[in-house]
């Protein structure tokens, strides 16, 4: 059984997709934690930042560059946003397919823990 995000990337499961290219896909989080909450994922299944290899340089760069495109599309490039990528149990990663959360549309709470 494919993971949820692989299914969204392949189109087997519906997703509110904002952006897609050869390497990455961006779609809205199903349970938004902020007025604007987008997930950016590699099209290829990579479980987390721990699984990134030196062969994934293009994908890694595309993930970060897509943040800027998403912020423009969501109208939050001026006001700012927070990006988060949870990893493993201490990071409380729920979906084991690498993703960057882009959160904005209102001021974030202070603190990072
Ligand atoms: P994590 O805790 O792994 O960093 O975050 C996983 C995120 O995926 C959560 O914010 C959760 O709301 C989101 N999510 C889980 N299942 C789905 C889904 O089927 N579709 C979408 N769009 N988001 C999902
Ligand atoms: Zn996957």
Q: d(Cα 26, Cα 28) in Å, to the nearest integer?
A: 7
- Residue 110 within a domain: no
- Residue 62 within a domain: yes
- State the 10-residue block means of pLDDT for the chain, 113 residues long: 95 96 98 98 98 97 98 98 98 98 96 85
- Verdict on whether the full-model pTM lies above 0.95: yes
- Residue 112 within a domain: no
What pLDDT, on a 0 to 100 scale, did the predictor assign at position 49? 98
Q: Is 37 a catalytic residue?
A: no
What pLDDT, on a 0 to 100 scale, did the predictor assign at position 81? 98
What pLDDT, on a 0 to 100 scale, did the predictor assign at position 112? 87
- Residue 48 within a domain: yes
Ligand in nearest proximity to the CA of 88: 1
86 lines ligand 1 (CB under 6 A): yes
What pLDDT, on a 0 to 100 scale, did the predictor assign at position 71? 98
- Residue 111 within a domain: no
Atom of ligand 1 nearest to the CA of 94: 3
Catalytic residue (one of 23, 97, 99, 101): 99
The torsion defined by the Cα of 47, 99, 13 and 32, in degrees rounded to 10, comes to: 140
Domain containing residue 94: CATH number: 3.30.428.10
Ligand in nearest proximity to the CA of 1: 2
Domains contained in the chain, number: 1
Domain that includes residue 31, residue range: 4-104
Instruction: Judge whether 100 and 34 are in contact, CB under 8 Å.
Output: no
- Residue 113 within a domain: no
């Amino acid at each position: 059984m494919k993971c949820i995000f692989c299914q969204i990337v392949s189109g087997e499961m519906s997703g509110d997709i904002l952006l897609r290219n050869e390497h990455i896909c961006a779609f809205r989080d199903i349970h938004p934690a902020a007025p604007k909450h987008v997930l950016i994922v590699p099209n290829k299944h990579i479980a987390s930042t721990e699984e990134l290899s030196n062969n994934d340089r293009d994908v890694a760069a595309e993930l970060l560059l897509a943040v800027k495109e998403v912020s423009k599309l969501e109208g939050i490039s001026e006001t700012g946003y927070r990006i988060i990528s949870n990893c493993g149990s201490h990071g409380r990663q729920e979906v084991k397919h690498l993703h960057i959360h882009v959160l904005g549309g209102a001021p974030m709470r202070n603190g990072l823990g």
